[in-house]
């Protein structure tokens, strides 16, 4: 049993309408013709790879000024519909646009209470908003903390074009986690190239998780390994960043290149148990 914590329910047609995503395809050197034709493909690819569940991520840029992101929103209702067809195997994390102010919290409330979303995803660079923005982000964190809603934040560089990576520096999350010590925060992509900072933030804040998505296991930087195998073994999360990386190729690579280097029990923490804690399962 394993849980992929980082899946984008994107289809080829959706991606083609988004310049920043097409730049990410170039970044990942992807053959566009191999991108998913439909979101129903996610579960069949999970089956092929032996992955039991996946967190599917929403995204919302409707109130963000950056014109490159005008087609980027994936409505929470669509996300709920995709999850609804998957027999409980797809766990939806809502997307809201922090730039919408009070409406962002309202939409998050609706997504959690009416649509059954289990968490929130924010991509600070796509939304051009700093994670420690007291006016735009703190009301969202308040809701998440009060309602036990985990939040996955993009951190580090991004393959997405037409946006700035400075919004996604992990250091901003230290302040957030100090102010919201009951909030569960997952830092996507372990904040690379600021992964030392991301690790420092995780060491100071017990509710911080780090996902290793967007990397083939064989390319994971070697300075991550002592933490993954040691003091932070309860905090790392398996994630692919589907469809940029596919579960089958990720798992094959993991079994060959990373699993043999993990201490006993760490593989199970990484693939499943830490995600269960994040999700409150």
Provide the b/e sequence for 2-40 (b: ≥16 CB within 10 Å): bbbbbbbbbbeebbeebbbbbbbbeeeebeeeebbeebe
Q: Which is nearer to Zn ion, 28 or 103 (CB)?
A: 28
- Binding residues among 166-195 for Zn ion as defined by CB under 5 A: none
Size of the site for Zn ion (CB under 5 A): 1
Rg (the chain; Cα; Å): 17
- Binding residues among 229-248 for Zn ion as defined by CB under 5 A: 241
Provide the b/e sequence for 95-121 (b: ≥16 CB within 10 Å): bbbbbbeeebbebbeebbeebebbbbb
DSSP state at residue 165: G
> 184 preceded by cis ω (within 30°)?
no
Q: Which is nearer to Zn ion, 51 or 266 (CB)?
A: 51
Q: Which is nearer to Zn ion, 174 or 241 (CB)?
A: 241
To Zn ion, the closest distance from the beta carbon of 6 in angstroms equals 6
Q: Which is nearer to Zn ion, 183 or 186 (CB)?
A: 186
To Zn ion, the closest distance from the beta carbon of 165 in angstroms equals 14
To Zn ion, the closest distance from the beta carbon of 211 in angstroms equals 9
For residue 4, state whether it binds Zn ion (rule: CB under 5 A).
no
To Zn ion, the closest distance from the beta carbon of 182 in angstroms equals 26
To Zn ion, the closest distance from the beta carbon of 205 in angstroms equals 22
Residue 165 tokens read as: 């990576």
Q: Which is nearer to Zn ion, 56 or 266 (CB)?
A: 56
Q: Specify the DSSP element, H or E, that contains 103.
A: helix 102-113
- Binding residues among 193-232 for Zn ion as defined by CB under 5 A: none
| Interface contacts to Zn ion, rule CB under 5 A | 241
């Amino acid at each position: 049993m394993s849980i992929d914590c980082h899946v984008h329910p994107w289809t080829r047609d959706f991606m083609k309408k988004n310049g920043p995503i097409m730049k990410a395809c170039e970044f990942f050197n992807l053959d566009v013709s191999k991108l998913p034709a439909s979101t129903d493909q996610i579960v069949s690819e999970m089956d092929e790879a032996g992955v039991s569940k996946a967190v599917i991520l929403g995204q919302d840029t409707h109130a963000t000024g950056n014109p490159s992101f005008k087609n980027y929103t994936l409505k929470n209702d669509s996300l709920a519909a995709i999850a609804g067809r998957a027999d409980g195997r797809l766990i939806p994390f809502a997307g809201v646009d922090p730039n919408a102010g009070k409406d962002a919290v309202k939409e998050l409330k609706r997504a959690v209470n009416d649509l059954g979303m289990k968490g929130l995803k924010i991509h600070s660079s796509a939304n051009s908003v700093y994670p420690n923005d007291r006016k735009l982000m703190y009301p969202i964190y308040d809701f998440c903390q009060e309602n036990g809603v985990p939040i996955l934040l993009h951190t580090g560089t991004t393959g997405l074009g037409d946006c700035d990576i400075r919004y996604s520096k992990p250091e901003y999350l230290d302040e957030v986690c100090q102010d919201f010590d009951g909030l569960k925060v997952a830092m996507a992509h372990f904040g690379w190239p600021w992964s030392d900072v991301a690790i420092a933030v995780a060491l100071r804040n017990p509710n911080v998780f780090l996902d290793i998505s967007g990397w083939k296991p064989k390319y994971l930087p070697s300075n991550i390994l002592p933490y993954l195998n040691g003091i932070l073994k309860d905090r790392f999360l398996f994630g692919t960043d589907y469809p940029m990386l596919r579960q089958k190729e990720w798992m094959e690579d993991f079994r060959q290149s990373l699993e043999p280097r993990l201490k006993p029990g760490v593989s199970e923490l990484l693939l499943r148990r830490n995600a269960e804690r994040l999700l409150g399962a």
